[in-house]
Chains A and B, each alone.
Chain A
Amino acid sequence: MKWTRLIVYAALIVLAILFLVPLGVVIVNSLRSNQEIAATSLIDWPTQVVFSNYAQAWNKFCMAEHCWGIEPYMLNSLTLTIPATIISTLLGALAGYSISLWRFRGDEFVFGLVTLGIFLPEQMKLIPWVVVLRDLSLMNTIAGLVLIHTVQGMSFTTLFCRNYYVGIPQDLLRAARIDGAGFFRIFWRIILPLSPPILIVTVIFQFTGIWNEFLYGVTFTSGGQQPVTAALIALSAAITSEPMYGEQSAAVLIAALPTLLVYLFGGRYFLRGLTAGAVK
């Protein structure tokens, strides 16, 4: 049935092109100068290819008095996202493990509460978090933001991990316990090695979510400590300023690089782990 193969390939190619168009537009725009885009159209081939947008975006564009470009904000985002991702993933794995495999009274209830957290809108939680950070003296620190994202991130990571760990057969644990292993040893020796597929998923989710977050990033930091999302918004047009589409496109691409890389590498391991039949 060769023609079905043809249809499959054709469909995939058409869909792939459709998916790539937005990225293509941004890449092309990043190679056109601001003036050219403003003078002609947002979607057009460059009349003259310029690479200066990248240099401008990286360390020259000005956010008020600071002409650092987005480089320092990228570092801030990294300092925020990497710890928050790792901690929330680890805690979520622990929580999911204890809820799914070490039953205790009220575990369903606690799990329900934790999971409910993913539905709470972030606008609603803003002011309570201000109060919490104030009482912990963590306002305007990256640590404060890490705390927020960790606590909130646990809702997701616990959900994912718990649903994954219920598939682990009880015999494995019983055998380990007969050998005298305790809670943490079982986690370290048995659960974690089985976890890469779900950990990749949670890491991807958390990294992307925290990296791309704007509201909290801007409210709980100041000036030079703001995350990269703040710089991106500064580059987009406001009421009284003119749009800088070329620079904005370059900055968007630079800022999206870490998450894109995470997807590039993570995606491969994710599916590989699952198709290897890690959990049978």
Chain B
Amino acid sequence: MTISLTRRRLLAGSAAALAMPRLARAQGAKPRITAISQWSAGSDGAAISALGKLFEDRGGVWQHNPVPGFTTDMMNKLRAQIMAGDPPAISQLKGPEIAAWSKIAPTVDISPLVKTAGYADKVSAELGKSCQPGGHWIALPLQVYRLNTLFLSTKGMERAKVSKAPTTWAEFNDVADKMKAAGMIPLANGGNRPDDGQKFEIALAGISPEIYRRALMQLDTDALNSKEVLAAFEQLRKFANYMNPNIAAQPWAVNLPAFVKGDMGMVMTGGWAQGNLFKAGATVADFSSGPAPQDSGPPCFDLNADCFIFWKSKGADLDAGQKLFAEIVMEPSTQEMYSKITGSIPARTDVNLAAPGFTDGQRNSAQVLRDAIAKDRVVLSLAHNMAQPNGITAAMIDVLTEYVHNSAIPAAEGQKKLVAAVAGAK
């Protein structure tokens, strides 16, 4: 009798110990975190290093594996680690990929931490949804970029005698024609696939965010066949004609010296361009930035965000590390520091950007984000893998990049190809 009672007590005791939530159990261990990202160079590399330093200042051990190359190389490494049964504690991931990848390996439920920090209502609903594929939080957004940002060269505007930034596509085309007549290159060429895709989505978002949602985010066939999408293709053809084809195969930053000098008028890309411009020697006086043209209504916000996903790992020190990392990332000061380095805007909408170190462009972006959230005019970027999983995105970008580089394809045919690509990739 006595023996079984003791055994029962032992069993009960150990069951209680096992039932303790993972994160609470982590209390005693020194926090350590293993991370995989693609941010090895430039301002991204600097920002993630700063984040790592912050982690170490708070008593953690930071083990970051930067995978050089494109996102695909990083995902390859992640996949290899997951298949080997050794996922990193956190890894960079975004958009629908969070949902897709969460199905292949177990993740950590950080909803309690999010609740404690009151984070859920501080970020845009779209972003929050992408981080909660199963109904609870498994990822945290780190920074947000506005894709539909228009940068104008001060000297370029003087040269073409343009006094104010265009606010509709018709005005934009007007300005571009004036610049072309003045002997300048009106629009910068991104030189790669995502850039061709992003020009299309900026055109469509500027024409109609509702159609954007239905066509690019929900893949509704009627929306894809609509006249707004056709108009976007036509605008895209105009963009192609305003760009310098010679820069096609180079990284887009090659455009920057010309932009600063005034030989190139406009750059239409995400907010990170600001950081590149400063690195290239531009000053705040050399350019102005604002939302890309919007044909009707207030400017919409074409959103691209980077998030970190939390993988279930073995070891109390990694559990503690994940807890510490989550807390750090959700803090306003961390996001402020991160965005100052990369030129993005924080994922939190309540960060005060009036502090020095932020530019007016960033402040404007943040304001537009707040307004867009309130008026439900936030759309997710297609070209940067926020709107669709990679398979569908790649198929659509194939069509868009081919269209941009082959002027023999008429807009209507481009639209047909897009519809076919979506059907084939589903």
Q: Which residues of A contact B (CB under 8 A)?
A: 35, 38-40, 62-65, 126-127, 130-131, 133-134, 139, 214-215, 218-220, 222-223, 226, 230-231, 233-235, 237-243
Contact = CB atoms under 8 A, between A and B. Distances in A.
Q: Which of A38, A64, A65 has most B Cβ within 10 Å?
A: A64
A127 B75 CA distance: 13
Nearest to B69: A233
A233 B276 contact: no
Contacts of B43: 240-241
Nearest to B270: A240
B39 A64 contact: yes
Contacts of B70: 238
Interface residues of B, number: 50
B49 A242 contact: no
B77 A238 contact: no
Contacts, number: 121
A238 B83 contact: no
B253 interface: yes
B155 to A, nearest CB: 15
A131 B52 contact: no
30 contacts: A39-B257, A62-B46, A63-B41, A63-B66, A64-B39, A64-B45, A65-B49, A65-B53, A127-B79, A127-B83, A130-B84, A131-B83, A133-B84, A134-B84, A134-B85, A139-B86, A219-B76, A219-B80, A223-B66, A230-B68, A233-B68, A237-B253, A238-B70, A238-B251, A239-B195, A240-B44, A241-B44, A241-B253, A243-B251, A243-B253
Given A233-B68, A234-B40, A240 B83 contact: no
A134 B43 CA distance: 34
Closest 9 CB pairs between A and B?
A241-B42, A237-B251, A234-B68, A65-B49, A64-B66, A233-B68, A134-B84, A242-B253, A234-B40
Contacts of B352: none
A215 B70 CA distance: 12
Contacts of A139: 80-81, 84, 86
Contact of A64 (B64, B80, B194): B64
Contact of B83 (A130, A214, A218, A242): A130
**B interface SS class:** helix
Nearest to B195: A239
A92 B342 CA distance: 50
B84 A62 contact: no
B45 A62 contact: yes
A240 B257 contact: no
Contacts of B77: 218-219, 222
Contacts of B257: 38-40
Contacts of B48: 64-65
Most buried by A among B46, B53, B68, B73: B68
A240 B147 CA distance: 12
A232 B364 CA distance: 37
Nearest to B51: A65
B192 A223 contact: no
Given A223-B66, A237-B253, 15 more contacts: A38-B256, A64-B40, A65-B53, A126-B80, A127-B79, A134-B83, A134-B85, A215-B73, A218-B77, A233-B69, A238-B44, A239-B195, A240-B272, A242-B251, A243-B253
B301 interface: no
A130 B281 CA distance: 44
A242 B83 CA distance: 34
A223 B40 CA distance: 10
Contact of A65 (B42, B44, B64): B64
Nearest to B384: A239
A139 to B, nearest CB: 4
B280 interface: yes
A188 B80 CA distance: 41
Contact of B65 (A62, A131, A223): A223
B62 interface: yes
Given A64-B64, A65-B53, A218-B68, A238 B41 contact: yes
Nearest to A139: B84
Contact of B64 (A126, A223, A243): A223
B283 interface: no
Contacts of B8: none
A218 B40 CA distance: 13
A240 B92 CA distance: 16
Contacts of B81: 139
Query: Among the interface residues A127, A226, A235, A241, which one has the most CB atoms of the partner chain B within 10 A?
Result: A241
A62 B49 contact: yes
Contacts of B83: 127, 130-131, 134
B223 interface: no
A223 B63 contact: yes
B162 interface: no
A39 B263 CA distance: 13
Contacts of A63: 40-41, 45, 66, 68
B254 interface: yes
B67 A218 contact: yes
Contact of B42 (A131, A222, A226, A240): A240
B314 interface: no
Interface in B11-39: 37-39
B66 A242 contact: no
B103 interface: no
A240 B276 contact: yes
A67 to B, nearest CB: 9
Interface string B282-302: 000000000000000000000
A85 to B, nearest CB: 24
Contacts of A218: 67-69, 73, 76-77
Contact of A220 (B49, B66, B80, B276): B80
B269 to A, nearest CB: 9
Contacts of A231: 68
B54 to A, nearest CB: 11
B279 interface: yes
A231 B45 CA distance: 13
A215 B281 CA distance: 34
B71 to A, nearest CB: 9
Contacts of A127: 79, 83
